[in-house]
Amino acid sequence: MPGIDEPIEPEQTLDLEIPHPARTEQGEDITPHGWLLVAQNKKVIKGWNDLCLQIPENAKRCYLWLRNDPTRRIPGRCYELKYKHYAGAWAFEVGSGQRVYYKIREGTREVLIYYAGPHPAKAPYPPT
């Protein structure tokens, strides 16, 4: 995991272990296709496609991670947002300046992507 003081280069490939889908006792995949990734609207799809162009390898790994284990934390990279009004929402830091925010739907095994694109504009800290 990159440290806070070590900014991730946008093109840097994530070194993620991609988990295998869960299996039954007989060894059959419970969810052979993993989780279904759903974009909330066209704006999300456009943001995602842009992100795929900018950092394709990272986007592929993010896609695989969310399909296989969207609520498995990667410290500092894939985590549940802390702000209480976003309860149940997760962040995936695809690159140093790219983010994906999503929630899961357990019942239908869907990952609903609310946002995919550049890091939200940061307020100037300290105030100038």
Partner 1 sequence: MATAVIDGLFSDEVFTATELNRHVGTVLDHACVRPVTISRNNDLFALVKREYAARMIRTMAQMKSALSLLAEAHVAISGESPAPVFAWLTIYEKDDLQRLFTEVLDAVGRAASGASDWGDVQAVIHEWEESALVAKSGVLDQAMFHEPAEESPLPNPDEFLQYLEPSQMAAGESCPESTSQ
Number of residues that bind partner 1 (CB under 8 A): 52
- What the block records as the tokens of 121 is 């504009």
Name which of residues 12 to 51 contact partner 1 (CB under 8 A): 36-46, 48-50
Choose between 19 and 49: whose C-beta lies nearer to partner 1.
Answer: 49
The residues near 35 (Cβ < 8 Å, ≥ 6 apart) are 66, 67, 68, 70, 104, 109, 110, 111
5 vs 17 by CB, closer to partner 1 = 5
Report the DSSP pairing between strands 110-118 and 98-105: antiparallel
Residue 86 makes contact with partner 1 by CB under 8 A: yes
Q: How far apart are CA 100 and CA 38, in angstroms?
A: 12
* Residue selected from 12, 54, 71, 96 as contacting partner 1 according to rule CB under 8 A: 54
Closest CA to 112 of 21, 52, 61, 39: 39
**Residue ranges that bind partner 1, judged by CB under 8 A:** 1, 3-5, 36-46, 48-50, 52-54, 56, 59-60, 63, 75-76, 79, 81-86, 89, 91, 93, 99, 101, 112-116, 119-123, 125-127
